[in-house]
Structure 1
Amino acid sequence: MDPDSLARWCLEHLGSSPAEELFRSGYLSAVIGVRLLDGREVVVKVRPDSPRIAACVDVQRRLFQAGYPCPRPLTGAAAFGGGIATAEAYVPGGDILPSADHAAPAFAEAFARLIRLAPRPDELSTLDPPPSWAAWNQGGEGLWPCPEERDVDLDEVPGAEWIDEAGRRARDRLRASGSDAVIGHCDWLAGNLRWSGDELLVVHDWDSVTAESEAVLAGFAAALYSTVSADKLATVEDTEQFLAAYCTARGREFSADELQRSWAAGVWTRAYDAKYQHAAGQPITALSEDEARERLGRAGSGSRRP
């Protein structure tokens, strides 16, 4: 993202040019924080074009208007070179984690509030395709969707067969039943949230909005958040505490079937990440074989070794 292109885009869509770059980051998107000449501090995100981005911005805008702590969108999805860009208000500061003894209920209550305030899927344009780590029901013949990060067929990557088996068993359990879709956030990592004490300050990464059953979305979140570090993922105990706190926050318990689907969803998303780590030659930190076995047992998929 060269400065001249950024300046032209900001002037056209925000009415002012950048005066100072505040930060530059991003993983699947290029994310640049700038202070504009008119004094506003904004974040511009550029990524490959996709029809789902417009709906993601729509969800973010509606949640902001409903009082949910997310950055205020300043533009819709607009062309930027060969990609698409959006801008939102910059929300600095905050802590990575709430207090350790309140982490599970804090993350769960914040997620339950998001689900409660989000619009219905039929109010939006398409949110398809979902991000790869949430695409357990992808339409292809294989088990694994194509990662956004690189052009690789994970189904053709040999080795670590226990990951494939864990993913397959989780997917089969998810396909065994279902329920109506709601709107939620499928990348509920600690690094995407900031806290002021135990109060939620802001949630980032609204490209990770997706439509899915509530039990599955809660299962993703329960498996991905952390009570200790942005570099760690939930333990089995952490996931159990999140799901209990989530049900308290939503005001009713999950059925036995819904709870099993939540555990299965957590296995699938963690197994997908583990498969990608294996394919990339990285240490496998997203899931261990023993943990996959324990989580699959709670998903009701049997006790045989994955």
Structure 2
Amino acid sequence: MPAYVVDTADRVRKRLLAADLPCVLGHADFEAQNLRWRDGDVWVVHDWDSLAWQPEAALAGAACGALASASPPTLAPIESSAAFLVAYQDLRGYRFTAEEQEIAWAASLWPAAHNARWEAVHGDTPVCCDAIRAQAAERLRRANA
């Protein structure tokens, strides 16, 4: 596995573990193939073995990095992730604290790091590996990681 993927995953892990936020139970794999839509609304969510006990900001962050992914999965553009987080907070009616913002940005790399590991182990085209190489520095900066 590329060293930059391992380094990114390690920094994300450390930042998420350092969080002092309450956890909630939520879905941690909101990639496009796990959602079905009807009339502009989420109709069905699949892949419920991806439940996680994490801070809300981590779940929202993971979604902002992965929501646009289909097959093969990849990492959303940074601008799209930022727009997702703003929309999430608007719909939620609650603004993330500075720590929650950092946790969301750290978690935005979490699904991509998992998928990059898969690519490396199975010799697949390095879609997530390339996305991490291109975006990790900025996402980790926003995460204070």
Q: Residue 275 of structure 1: SS of its match in structure 2?
A: helix
Q: Residue type of the partner of 1:172?
A: K
Does 1:295 pair with 2:139? yes
Q: Deviations over 1:208-249 (max 9, x none)?
A: 2222111111111111101xx623542211111111111111
Q: Residue type of the partner of 1:230?
A: A
Match of 2:43 among 187, 197, 201: 201
Instruction: Work out the number of aligned pairs and report it.
Output: 141
Question: How big is the shift at 1:277?
Answer: 1.0
Asked if the contact 2:112/2:132 (under 8 Å) is kept, the reply is no
Does 1:257 pair with 2:99? yes
The separation in 2 between residues aligned to 1:207 and 1:170, in whole angstroms, is 22
**Cross-structure match for 2:11:** 169
**Cross-structure match for 2:56:** 214
The separation in 2 between residues aligned to 1:230 and 1:279, in whole angstroms, is 20
Output the TM-score relative to the length of structure 1: 0.44
Q: Residue 127 of structure 2: SS of its match in structure 1?
A: coil
Q: Residue 178 of structure 1: SS of its match in structure 2?
A: coil
Q: Residue 195 of structure 1: SS of its match in structure 2?
A: strand
Unaligned runs of 5+ in 2: none
Output the TM-score relative to the length of structure 2: 0.88
Question: How big is the shift at 1:179?
Answer: 1.2
Q: Residue type of the partner of 2:132?
A: S
Match of 2:65 among 220, 223, 239: 223
**Where do residues 4-23 of structure 1 align in structure 2 (5 Å cutoff)?**
none
Kindly report the root-mean-square deviation, in angstroms, between the aligned alpha carbons of the 2 structures. Answer: 1.6
Say which structure is richer in helix: 2
The separation in 2 between residues aligned to 1:298 and 1:212, in whole angstroms, is 19
Asked if the contact 2:25/2:53 (under 8 Å) is kept, the reply is yes
**Where do residues 43-192 of structure 1 align in structure 2 (5 Å cutoff)?**
159-192=1-34
The separation in 1 between residues aligned to 2:7 and 2:48, in whole angstroms, is 31
Q: Deviations over 1:193-217 (max 9, x none)?
A: 1112312222222222222111111
Question: How big is the shift at 1:257?
Answer: 0.8
